[in-house]
């Protein structure tokens, strides 16, 4: 599927979709935050974030714990909606359409923006049923090529060879690293455009972590990947661009974007003193 | 040398009787432990004792009637005078009313539990749950009184007429929906409906706890894939908690089997030969309630005790099965409706 | 691919169609099923409301002061009441609490601090099983155990039956409450040299006392509404009046224990029992009194329940610092 084909708007009436498309947005940007703030009751958890995330690259979000990295990530697929008493300001654009606002089909956003969580969370079903869960929601069955979809997804997640003989065994019997790759293939099965990863390897051993990092390099050719990690070395190894976040002051504790640029620049030549302190390990 | 001040190290040794008392108090641990262990054992012993007593004191009747006591027959006799006892009508009545009560209770309880656990706004959750528990707290006799004078004429009798006219005309269903329902409404159907109301709070509370025990990560995984809330509930949560839900239903069934007062007041208390829900019937607990205090002969008493034994074994088995199922989901954390 | 209708993402036209038709149906199902669950919840609540409303309306019609302070009078004579039942309920629940509380707390203490021993597991299991035994069977059990040996029905037998019914509630609540007591409290006391039993009585149990009282109140609420176990143990007694018994005892110079014996070894009535008897009689007067008795009973049981739940909620809020 080419990028051209993906440029088709969301399933909301075209005239409303046009309203939210900003002609100034560069077509190279998959996701753009524009002055986005996130409030939990009166507490401002994220403050006026503005940044553009390019297509088919890996963008890492780093920063000390509690600065709002996960909150930022979960805003992209509207998972924060599950928390009561939250409200937002500003916009987030996916392919130029606003995904915050009236008339947005959240269920569809979540299909197009997949997520992999910190702890692997496979369903207590078979491996096949886990991967097939998403497509089945849309009515795909064996007759419609479900087997092929499952095969493709598992292949992309570099898991096919390890499980091809036990597709109908329980997913809970897999190792931690395998379960995480299963979660990745489950997310890929519904053909997302973006894959969000919230510290995907933090619960895994070094060998499994390495596998996941290798996987990300192949995946970025097809998908746009955004990863939150507290492991700086991993961010330096894996990502093309890096965003550094911090709390603005100890009292208000709002998370803000301090610096954002190419990974090489952030780690070798940071413009901001705080960034430099963090990447050199002076704090955090 | 300074005068020795009072300190723990140079006090006079205490009197011998004080030493003895202190030792006794310290070894008070042993009587304490014995006491607590005894009480714990007593609790378990109670259940065993009930079973043993029922078994022993029904010996005469068991010997006299043998398997005839429980054999299904359309022409059962329960004759305290002649000493002929066949409990099939009561067994049937108990089973059919309890099982049929599930037909209404399970969907409603499941729906309410899902609403309370997953869909309810936070601030509403505690008050609504509390109201459900109030429903469970209403004494059985009050259900019975309301049943006789309000529920039966207002709902059961019209429902019975309707069911008799519609389902009563269909060939197979005709057996259990053979009308007409008596004018008072007193029937096995009435007992079923009242039981549905009475067991709903139990099933709802336990099912709700089962849902709350399911890890949040499962919901997150499903929603992040682009499911709707209902799809998450139906395709992920219910399968995950299925054994717990089943346990809740079985517990409700167990409660229905043993329910006495409300059932007795609305069931019609008649040993008819009909299998129909729309006819008056009898249950095991009802016959005991009605006849035990005025049993005419020792054999009569023993026969009633035998009925009690059957009821006891049934509820015991269901209870054990249910608890094992419920414990599986929450790992022992699911508490369910406290009695 | 753009048009004036809703369009969808997909790799092929066929999948496009699949995604599109799926979406509307899924959304519809979602809304429908959520509506059903809300409906069912309302249904259950509606029934509760129905019952309470009826009991209140009909009960208020026939409730008056006479009802509470007089013994039953024969039909046709006004001013009869259910004093015997009220006093009976009080005596029965009092005695039942006496019998159930101490063994219950002790057994719960054992189960709380020895959760992994076979006996501890058995206690929890046994409590669950006991709570599932039909109350009428417990009544039969007490009949065989006590009434047959005593030769007559009595409040004693009735209260033993109610005690057995209260026991699971008390054990379960007490066990939970004891577990909630921070272990640092207990360990601090033990570290100071206090023996286990003293720690239990002066530290662990008092710390859990509020919760234990809640459990006892809930047990009382349950026991006071029970009828079946009393059918063959307490039986019922139209002339039960503690005041009269006490006065008669004093007049006859009977000892305290004899008077107590008189109170306890007679058959007694209780509110649920009276309800049961009156509801089945063909006389409208008795039926009206049944409604009034139902109202009194319901107020008693529901207010106990509401009170305990609210105090649990207040305590929970306080613990969370609200």
* C10-57 residue pLDDT tens: 344 445 555 555 778 888 999 999 999 999 999 989 999 999 999 999
Q: Which secondary-structure segment (H or E) carries B5?
A: none
**Which of A163, A78, A80 has its CA nearest to residue A122?**
A163
Q: Which residue of A has its CA nearest to C7?
A: A11
pLDDT at C321: 63
Residue A176 in contact with residue A204, Cβ under 8 Å? Answer: yes
Q: Average pLDDT of A49-77?
A: 91
Res B94 pLDDT > 90: yes
A226 phi and psi, to 5 degrees? Answer: -125, 125
CA angle C312, A43, A241 (to 5 degrees): 125
Which chain B residues contact residue C302 at CB under 8 A?
A: 134, 137-138
Show which of residues 6-35 on chain C sit within 8 Å of chain A, judged by CB atoms.
6-11, 14, 18-23, 26-27
Compute CA distances A70 → A194, A276, B216, whole Å. 16, 22, 16
- Please name the residues in contact with A261: beta carbons below 8 A apart, sequence gap of 6 or more: A241, A242, A271
Res A267 pLDDT > 60: yes
Res A19 pLDDT > 50: no
CA distance B223 to chain A (A): 7
Which chain B residues contact residue A80 at CB under 8 A?
A: none
Res C238 pLDDT > 80: no
B312 token code pair: 């006891």
pLDDT at B3: 57
pLDDT at B172: 80
**Which of B338, B195, B294, B309 has its CA nearest to residue B253?**
B195
pLDDT in tens, C246-267: 777 777 777 777 777 777 788 8
Res A226 pLDDT > 90: yes
Chain B interface disruption, residue of A79, A106, A107, most B CBs within 10 A? A107
C4 interfaces chain A, CB cutoff of 8 Å: yes
Chains contacting C with at least 3 CB pairs below 8 Å? A, B
pLDDT at C19: 57
pLDDT at B315: 92
The mean pLDDT value of chain C amounts to 82
The mean pLDDT value of chain A amounts to 85
Q: Which residue of A has its CA nearest to C25?
A: A138
Res C279 pLDDT > 50: yes
The mean pLDDT value of chain B amounts to 85
Better pLDDT: A156 or B180: A156
- Cα separation, B265 vs B255, in Å, equals 17
- Cα separation, C5 vs B15, in Å, equals 100
Res A120 pLDDT > 50: yes
C141 token code pair: 């059990």
pLDDT in tens, B59-88: 888 888 778 788 887 777 888 878 788 888
DSSP summary character for residue A82: G
Chain B interface disruption, residue of A117, A123, A197, most B CBs within 10 A? A123
CA angle A78, A84, A90 (to 5 degrees): 45
When CB atoms are compared, the residue of A82, A84, A186 closest to B225 is A186
Show which of residues 123-182 on chain C sit within 8 Å of chain A, judged by CB atoms.
none
Of the listed ranges A159-168, B313-322, C15-24, C67-76, the least confidently predicted one is C15-24
**Which of C264, C93, C88, C263 has its CA nearest to residue C165?**
C93
Q: Average pLDDT of B317-326?
A: 85
When CB atoms are compared, the residue of B32, B143, B323 closest to C200 is B32
Asked if residue B180 has a cis previous peptide bond (ω within 30° of 0), the answer is: yes
Contact A77 B224 (CB under 8 A): yes
Q: Average pLDDT of C232-237?
A: 79
- Cα separation, C170 vs C163, in Å, equals 10
pLDDT at B329: 60
pLDDT in tens, A269-283: 888 888 888 888 877
Strands A194-198 and A224-228: parallel
Residue A235 in contact with residue A206, Cβ under 8 Å? Answer: no
Q: Average pLDDT of B326-331?
A: 63
**Which of C12, B120, B100 has its CA nearest to residue A138?**
C12
pLDDT in tens, B262-309: 999 999 888 877 888 888 999 999 999 998 888 888 888 888 999 999
pLDDT at C11: 43
Contact A6 C19 (CB under 8 A): no
Please name the residue ranges forming H helices in chain C. 13-62, 65-69, 83-113, 118-132, 135-142, 148-150, 155-180, 183-191, 196-199, 205-224, 242-251, 256-264, 271-279, 284-319
CA distance B37 to chain A (A): 40
B162 token code pair: 């309707």
- Cα separation, A218 vs A62, in Å, equals 22
A112 interfaces chain C, CB cutoff of 8 Å: yes
Q: What percent of chain B has pLDDT over 70?
A: 91
pLDDT at B114: 95
Res A129 pLDDT > 70: yes
CA angle C297, C299, C302 (to 5 degrees): 100
Res B31 pLDDT > 80: no
3-state secondary structure of B11: coil
pLDDT at B29: 73
pLDDT at A11: 42
Q: Average pLDDT of A205-230?
A: 91
A16 interfaces chain C, CB cutoff of 8 Å: no
When CB atoms are compared, the residue of C11, C18, C23 closest to A11 is C23
pLDDT in tens, B201-258: 999 999 999 999 999 999 999 999 999 999 999 999 999 999 889 989 999 999 999 9
Please name the residue ranges forming H helices in A102-261. 106-112, 127-137, 146-156, 160-163, 176-188, 206-219, 232-238
Task: Tell me which residue has tokens 């493709």.
Answer: A152
Chain C interface disruption, residue of A14, A16, A145, most C CBs within 10 A? A14
Contact C48 B134 (CB under 8 A): yes
**Which of C274, C110, C256 has its CA nearest to residue C178?**
C110
Better pLDDT: C69 or C296: C296
pLDDT at C21: 58
pLDDT at C236: 73
Q: Which secondary-structure segment (H or E) carries A93?
A: strand A86-94
A146 interfaces chain C, CB cutoff of 8 Å: no
The per-type count for chain B, helices as H runs and strands as E runs, is: 15, 2
pLDDT at B26: 65
> Residue C211 CA to chain centroid, in angstroms?
15
pLDDT at B200: 94
Q: Average pLDDT of A242-250?
A: 88
Residue B248 in contact with residue B322, Cβ under 8 Å? Answer: yes
């Amino acid at each position: 599927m080419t990028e051209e084909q993906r440029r088709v708007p969301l399933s909301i009436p075209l005239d409303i979709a046009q309203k939210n498309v900003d002609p100034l947005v560069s077509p190279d940007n998959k996701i753009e935050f524009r002055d986005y703030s996130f409030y939990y009751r009166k507490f401002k958890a994220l403050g006026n974030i503005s940044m553009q995330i390019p297509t088919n690259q890996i963008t890492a979000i780093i920063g000390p714990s509690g600065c709002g990295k996960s909150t930022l990530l979960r805003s992209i697929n509207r998972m924060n909606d599950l928390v009561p008493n939250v409200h937002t300001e500003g916009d987030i654009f996916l392919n130029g359409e606003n995904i915050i606002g009236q008339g947005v089909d959240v269920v569809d956003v979540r299909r197009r923006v997949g997520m992999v969580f910190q702890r692997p969370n496979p369903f207590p079903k078979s491996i096949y049923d886990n991967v097939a869960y998403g497509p089945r929601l849309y009515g795909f069955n064996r007759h419609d090529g479900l087997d092929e979809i499952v095969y493709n997804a598992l292949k992309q997640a570099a898991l096919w060879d390890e499980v091809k003989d036990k597709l109908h065994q329980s997913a809970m019997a897999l190792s931690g690293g395998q379960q995480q790759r299963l979660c990745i293939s489950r997310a890929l099965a519904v053909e997302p455009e973006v894959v969000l990863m919230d510290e995907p390897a933090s619960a895994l051993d070094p060998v499994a972590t390495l596998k996941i990092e290798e996987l990300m390099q192949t995946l970025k050719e097809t998908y746009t990947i955004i990863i939150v990690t507290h492991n700086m070395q991993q961010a330096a190894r894996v990502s093309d661009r890096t965003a550094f976040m911090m709390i603005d002051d100890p009292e208000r504790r709002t998370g803000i974007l301090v610096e954002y640029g190419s990974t090489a620049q952030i780690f070798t030549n940071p413009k901001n003193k705080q960034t430099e302190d963090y990447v050199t390990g002076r704090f955090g | 040398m300074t005068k020795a001040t009072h300190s723990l190290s140079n006090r006079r040794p205490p009197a011998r009787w004080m030493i003895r008392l202190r030792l006794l108090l310290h070894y008070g641990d042993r009587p304490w432990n014995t006491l607590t262990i005894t009480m714990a054992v007593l609790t378990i012993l109670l259940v065993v004792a009930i079973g043993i007593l029922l078994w022993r004191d029904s010996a005469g009747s068991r010997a006299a009637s043998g398997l005839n006591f429980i054999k299904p027959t359309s022409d059962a006799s329960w004759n305290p005078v002649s000493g002929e006892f066949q409990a099939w009508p009561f067994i049937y009545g108990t089973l059919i009313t309890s099982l049929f009560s599930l037909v209404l209770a399970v969907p409603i309880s499941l729906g309410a539990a899902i609403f309370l656990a997953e869909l309810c706004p936070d601030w509403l959750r505690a008050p609504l749950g509390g109201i459900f528990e109030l429903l469970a707290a209403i004494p059985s006799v009050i259900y019975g009184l309301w049943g006789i004078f309000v529920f039966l004429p207002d709902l059961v009798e019209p429902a019975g007429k309707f069911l008799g006219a519609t389902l009563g005309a269909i060939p197979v269903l005709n057996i259990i929906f053979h009308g007409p329902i008596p004018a008072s409404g007193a029937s096995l159907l009435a007992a079923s409906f009242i039981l549905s109301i009475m067991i709903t709070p139990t099933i709802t509370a336990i099912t709700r706890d089962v849902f709350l025990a399911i890890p949040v990560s499962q919901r997150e995984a499903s929603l992040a894939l682009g499911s709707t809330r209902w799809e998450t509930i139906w395709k992920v949560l219910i399968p995950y908690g299925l054994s717990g839900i089943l346990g809740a239903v079985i517990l409700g069934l167990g409660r229905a089997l043993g329910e006495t007062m409300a059932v007795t007041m609305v069931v019609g208390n008649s040993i008819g030969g009909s299998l129909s829900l729309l006819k008056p019937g009898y249950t095991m607990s009802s016959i005991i309630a009605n006849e035990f205090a005025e049993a005419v002969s020792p054999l009569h008493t023993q026969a009633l005790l035998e009925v009690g034994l059957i009821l006891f074994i049934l509820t015991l088995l269901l209870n054990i099965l249910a608890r094992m199922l419920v414990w599986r989901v929450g790992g022992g954390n699911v508490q369910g409706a406290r009695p | 691919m753009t048009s004036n209708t809703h369009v969808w993402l997909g790799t092929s036209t066929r999948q496009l169609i699949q995604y599109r038709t799926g979406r509307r149906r899924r959304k519809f199902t979602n809304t429908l099923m959520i509506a059903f669950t809300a409906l069912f919840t309302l249904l259950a609540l509606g029934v509760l409301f129905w019952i309470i409303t009826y009991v209140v309306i009909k009960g208020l019609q026939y409730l008056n002061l006479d009802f509470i302070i007089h013994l039953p009078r024969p039909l046709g004579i006004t001013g009869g009441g259910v004093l015997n039942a009220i006093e009976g309920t009080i005596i029965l629940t009092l005695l039942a609490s006496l019998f159930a509380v101490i063994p219950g707390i002790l057994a719960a203490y054992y189960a709380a601090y020895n959760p992994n021993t076979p006996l501890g597991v058995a206690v929890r299991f046994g409590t669950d099983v006991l709570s599932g035994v039909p109350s009428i069977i417990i009544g039969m059990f007490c009949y065989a155990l006590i009434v047959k040996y005593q030769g007559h029905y009595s409040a004693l037998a009735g209260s033993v039956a109610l005690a057995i019914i209260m026991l699971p509630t008390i054990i379960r609540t007490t066990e939970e409450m004891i577990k909630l007591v921070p272990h640092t409290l207990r360990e601090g006391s033990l570290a100071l040299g206090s023996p286990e039993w003293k720690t239990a009585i002066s530290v662990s149990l008092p710390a859990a006392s509020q919760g234990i009282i809640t459990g006892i109140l809930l047990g009382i609420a349950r026991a006071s509404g029970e009828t079946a176990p009393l059918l063959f143990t307490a039986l019922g007694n139209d002339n039960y009046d503690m005041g009269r018994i006490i006065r008669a005892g004093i007049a006859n110079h009977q000892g305290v224990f004899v008077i107590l014996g008189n109170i306890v070894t007679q058959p007694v009535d209780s509110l649920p029992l009276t309800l049961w008897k009156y509801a089945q009689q063909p006389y409208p007067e008795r039926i009206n009194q049944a409604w009034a008795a139902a109202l009194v009973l319901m107020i008693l049981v529901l207010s106990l329940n509401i009170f305990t739940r609210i105090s649990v909620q207040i305590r929970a809020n306080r613990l969370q610092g609200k």
